[in-house]
């Protein structure tokens, strides 16, 4: 049995949880509507549900999402749903799962559960032989630091080889993020300028204008670096920095992403600023005197032939000035200004890849200002691409896991490189500095930029 076999059963651990309610039921419904999910979906959790309860909860989750529900599609979806109640430490739980999956030869086990439970579930799957030909899908976080990520990998790979382990980072399933790869490698006009000779610097921002929204006990154990920098934003950086893959094969794509991460120099303490918004410590569930960051800015260097000397800055945080996720590539200025207004020097060309609040790519250039004077002014060339209706990143990633395509999943060597990059940030960095809600983070982050540079997104 190969790693790319078409799945014939999905086992979903943690089906009563928040992720299933917010994302997974919708993704499974959409896959059913697209005729890509005609197999048993075995939900597993400890709550005292049965098959009918699970189906009612699935309907309620779809209604809660505000979508239009096709009754016939839902009937097809619900007919495949079945539920196993049990404790992950009880061998009888896995025997009941195996009975529900009887005769299935290519199961996909999705662990939408905390990493602390992975060991029990992986051991339980192996105890009933569901590891022999099946695949394992892991939901982030993949550890809390480099050491725990190594330990987690050892647990998983005792029973599942790497080629059958799929680590979900839902950012890689987003249309706009995938379009970043297409835009880079399908347009030859970019390749001659996509290097240190023409790129002045890159800024990657993930800002949210809201706080932790009642998730204090969760967020205080995680923080911004673990929550979005180590995974989402470093993946975006890798897509921008990677070399062209030798083919479209999954390993070729992932090889280049990992090479880009390996080229990142481990940041020093002075390359990192951690912040915390005013009032965070008063949030329910947050420890008194908490040093958990709600903002992080990190200056990085990609020490490769293409990028040596080009500054990369990642910035992420909560309770900031607006909600925006984007990567901005700023190009070098012309060697001398021509057709410039004496009072205003033309700005540099910039290419912006944005996923929030809307999906799009824009390119800022200079063109003639209307009127008699021969002077330039900035214009924006903007590409908007619609999100496919009814599609979500989990829809794409779940479908890929079921058919055995690992292209958009994180590989273990990439995960370890990402943890290597941020590990010292988590263990040996300076204490958080305060910033006001609605601002763009602590002013201390400005020192990460060159003197002739400023934050682009404000």
- Residue ranges of the alpha helices (H) in 50-139? 51-64, 71-80, 91-100, 118-127
Q: What is the CATH number of the domain that holds 112?
A: 3.40.50.720
Q: Is residue 176 part of a domain?
A: yes
275 or 387: which leads in pLDDT: 275
User: What integer is the mean pLDDT of 37-50?
Assistant: 96
CB neighbours of residue 338 within 10 Å: 11
Task: Read off the pTM.
Answer: 0.91
pLDDT of residue 287: 95
pLDDT of residue 3: 54
Is 232 a residue of the active site? yes
| Domain shared by 198 and 343, yes or no | yes
| Residue at 82 is within a domain | yes
**Both 113 and 178 in a single domain?**
no
Residue 387 pLDDT exceeds 80: no
- At 386 the pLDDT is 64
Sign of the CA dihedral running 337, 338, 343, 346: negative
Q: 81-85, 157-161, 340-344 — which is least confidently predicted?
A: 340-344
In a domain, 157, yes or no: no
pLDDT reading at 455 higher than 80 = yes
Q: Are residues 295 and 207 in the same domain?
A: yes
Query: Where is pLDDT greater, at 357 or 55?
Result: 55
Rounded average pLDDT over 167-187: 88
**What tokens does 67 get?**
């979508």
CA distance 320 to 210: 7
Q: Work out the mean pLDDT of the chain and round it to a whole number.
A: 91
Residues 177 and 131 in one domain: no
Please indicate, yes or no, if residue 163 is contained in any of the structural domains. Answer: no
Catalytic residue among 159, 232, 382, 385: 232
Let me know if residue 418 belongs to a domain. Answer: yes
Average pLDDT over residues 168-190: 88
193 shares a domain with 112: no
Task: Look up tokens 């290097």; give the residue.
Answer: 195
| 67 and 210 assigned to the same domain | no
- Final residue before a domain boundary, out of 97, 122, 139: 139
Counting the structural domains of the chain, the total is 2
Q: Domain holding 272: CATH number? A: 3.30.360.10
pLDDT band of 177, cuts 50, 70, 90: confident
For 391-410, what is each residue's pLDDT tens digit? Answer: 678 999 999 999 999 999 99
% of the chain surpassing 70 pLDDT: 95
**DSSP state at residue 163:** G
Q: Which two tokens stand for residue 322?
A: 């607006």
Q: Are both 304 and 442 inside the same structural domain?
A: yes
* Nearest-angstrom CA–CA distance, 111 and 44: 10
In which domain, by residue range, is 195 found?
172-391+407-448
Q: Please report the DSSP string for 380-394 in residue order.
A: EEEEE-PPPTT--HH
Predicted confidence (pLDDT) per residue in 409-451, tens digit: 999 999 999 999 999 888 767 899 999 999 999 999 999 998 8
pLDDT of residue 383: 81
């Amino acid at each position: 049995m190969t790693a790319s076999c078409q799945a014939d059963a999905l086992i979903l651990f943690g089906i009563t949880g928040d992720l299933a309610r917010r994302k997974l039921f919708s993704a499974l419904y959409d896959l059913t509507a697209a005729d890509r999910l005609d197999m048993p979906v075995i939900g597993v959790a400890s709550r005292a549900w049965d098959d009918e309860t699970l189906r009612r909860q699935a309907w309620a989750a779809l209604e809660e999402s505000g979508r239009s529900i096709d009754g016939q599609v839902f009937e097809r979806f619900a007919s495949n749903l079945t539920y196993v109640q049990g404790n992950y430490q009880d061998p009888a739980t896995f025997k009941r799962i195996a009975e529900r999956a009887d005769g299935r030869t290519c199961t996909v086990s999705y662990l939408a559960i905390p990493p602390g439970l992975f060991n029990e579930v992986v051991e339980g799957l192996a105890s009933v032989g569901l590891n022999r030909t099946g695949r394992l899908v892991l939901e982030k976080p993949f550890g809390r630091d480099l050491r725990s990520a190594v330990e987690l990998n050892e647990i998983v790979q005792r029973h599942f080889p790497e080629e059958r382990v799929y680590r979900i980072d839902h950012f890689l399933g987003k249309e706009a993020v995938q379009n970043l790869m297409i835009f880079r490698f399908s347009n030859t006009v970019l390749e001659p300028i996509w290097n240190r000779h023409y790129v002045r610097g890159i800024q990657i921002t993930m800002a949210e204008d809201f706080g932790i929204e009642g998730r204090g006990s969760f967020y205080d154990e995680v923080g911004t670096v673990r929550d979005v920098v180590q995974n989402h934003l470093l993946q975006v950086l890798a897509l921008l920095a990677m070399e062209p893959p030798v083919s479209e094969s999954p390993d070729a794509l992932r090889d280049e992403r990992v090479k880009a991460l390996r080229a990142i120099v481990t940041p020093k303490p002075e390359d990192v600023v951690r912040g915390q918004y005013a009032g965070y410590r008063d949030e329910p569930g947050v420890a008194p005197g908490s040093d958990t960051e709600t903002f992080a800015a990190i200056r990085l260097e990609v020490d490769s032939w293409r990028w040596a000397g080009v500054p990369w800055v990642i910035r992420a945080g909560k309770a900031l000035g607006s909600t925006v996720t984007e990567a901005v590539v700023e190009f070098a200025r012309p060697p001398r200004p021509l057709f410039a207004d004496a009072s205003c020097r033309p700005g540099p060309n910039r290419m912006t890849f944005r996923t929030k609040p809307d999906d799009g790519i824009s390119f800022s250039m200079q063109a003639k200002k209307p009127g008699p004077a021969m002077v330039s002014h900035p214009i924006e060339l903007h590409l908007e691409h619609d999100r496919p209706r009814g599609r979500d990143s989990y829809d794409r990633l779940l479908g890929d896991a079921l058919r055995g395509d690992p292209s958009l999943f994180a590989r273990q060597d990439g995960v370890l490189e990402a943890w290597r990059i941020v590990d010292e940030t988590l263990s040996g960095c300076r204490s958080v500095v305060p910033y006001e809600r609605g601002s763009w983070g602590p002013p201390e982050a400005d020192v990460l930029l060159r003197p002739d540079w400023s934050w682009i997104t404000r």
